[in-house]
């Protein structure tokens, strides 16, 4: 590589490295939270005679972040973006990737926290402990196709506009705060389930969680979460 080429600053989010994938994860988390709120609103509005219903759908205690969508956005970008795929190929692969990811994450949530955030028992032919259904798989295929065809190119264009150095600093700060948020949220849910099972806190951190995030707080933070044990 020539000395001149070395002097050219690398673009923010170039390729599919950490910067691009971390940016996609953050955008996917926020987009997923908004998408869930709108979808839930529409189901209640059209299914219950115009009922206005807004419910918190975030996976984290602080901030509008739906982590499962962030994970899905990263996986789809890694395996489907930058490939010359036809729309039907994107649809099938996207439906399978998102469907399997949702089931795996659903089981992980049940195993590690004793809770579940979604249940498709009222769907036709629901399966995997009611964590998925044919309708949901089809919806994932549509979402994945629209994401790769429309949203992902837009994200790439926006990241090209971000100044490299300030962008990296801001991204790292946001990611650190988001990881802390996810760890606090995860441990608070685990402790919430432990309280539900009548288990006392064994550590000072457990005592802190009981004080900072009591049952009433957790019910408001996760109104659609259910205990499964």
Q: Can you tell me the mean pLDDT for 4-29? A: 80
Establish if 54 belongs to a structural domain. yes
Residue 9's pLDDT is: 56
Q: pLDDT band at 46, cuts 50/70/90?
A: confident
Task: Quick: pLDDT tens for 73-87.
Answer: 999 999 998 888 899
Distance CA 226, CA 116 (A): 5
- Beta-bridge partner residues of 132: 127
Establish if 5 belongs to a structural domain. no
Establish if 1 belongs to a structural domain. no
Residue 61's pLDDT is: 96
Domain, as residue range, for 32: 15-227
CB 20 within 8 A of CB 82: no
Establish if 6 belongs to a structural domain. no
Instruction: Provide the number of structural domains found in the chain.
Output: 1
Establish if 10 belongs to a structural domain. no
Q: pLDDT band at 24, cuts 50/70/90?
A: very high
With 90 as the cut, is the pLDDT of residue 14 above it? no
Q: Can you tell me the mean pLDDT for 179-197? A: 97
Establish if 131 belongs to a structural domain. yes
Q: pLDDT band at 160, cuts 50/70/90?
A: confident
Establish if 2 belongs to a structural domain. no
Average pLDDT, the chain: 90
Establish if 139 belongs to a structural domain. yes
Percent of the chain with pLDDT over 70: 94
Q: Can you tell me the mean pLDDT for 170-196? A: 97
């Amino acid at each position: 590589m020539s000395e001149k080429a070395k002097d050219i600053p690398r673009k923010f989010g170039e390729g599919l490295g950490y910067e691009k994938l971390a940016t996609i994860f953050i955008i996917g988390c926020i987009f997923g939270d908004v998408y869930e709120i709108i979808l839930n609103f529409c189901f209640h509005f059209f299914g219950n005679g115009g009922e206005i219903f807004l419910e918190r759908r975030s996976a984290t205690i602080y901030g509008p972040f739906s982590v499962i969508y962030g994970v899905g956005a990263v996986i789809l970008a890694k395996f489907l973006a930058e490939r010359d795929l036809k729309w039907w190929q994107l649809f099938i692969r996207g439906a399978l990737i998102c469907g399997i990811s949702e089931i795996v994450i659903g089981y992980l949530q049940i195993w590690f926290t004793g809770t579940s955030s979604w249940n498709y028992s009222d769907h036709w032919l629901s399966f995997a402990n009611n964590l998925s259904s044919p309708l949901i798989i089809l919806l994932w295929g549509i979402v994945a196709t629209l994401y790769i065809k429309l949203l992902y190119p837009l994200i790439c264009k926006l990241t090209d506009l971000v100044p490299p150095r300030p962008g990296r600093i801001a991204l790292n700060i946001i990611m650190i705060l988001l990881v802390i948020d996810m760890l606090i949220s995860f441990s608070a849910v685990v402790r919430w389930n432990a309280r539900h099972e009548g288990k006392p806190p064994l550590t000072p951190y457990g005592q802190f969680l009981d004080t900072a995030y009591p049952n009433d707080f957790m019910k408001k933070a996760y109104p659609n979460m259910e205990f499964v044990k």
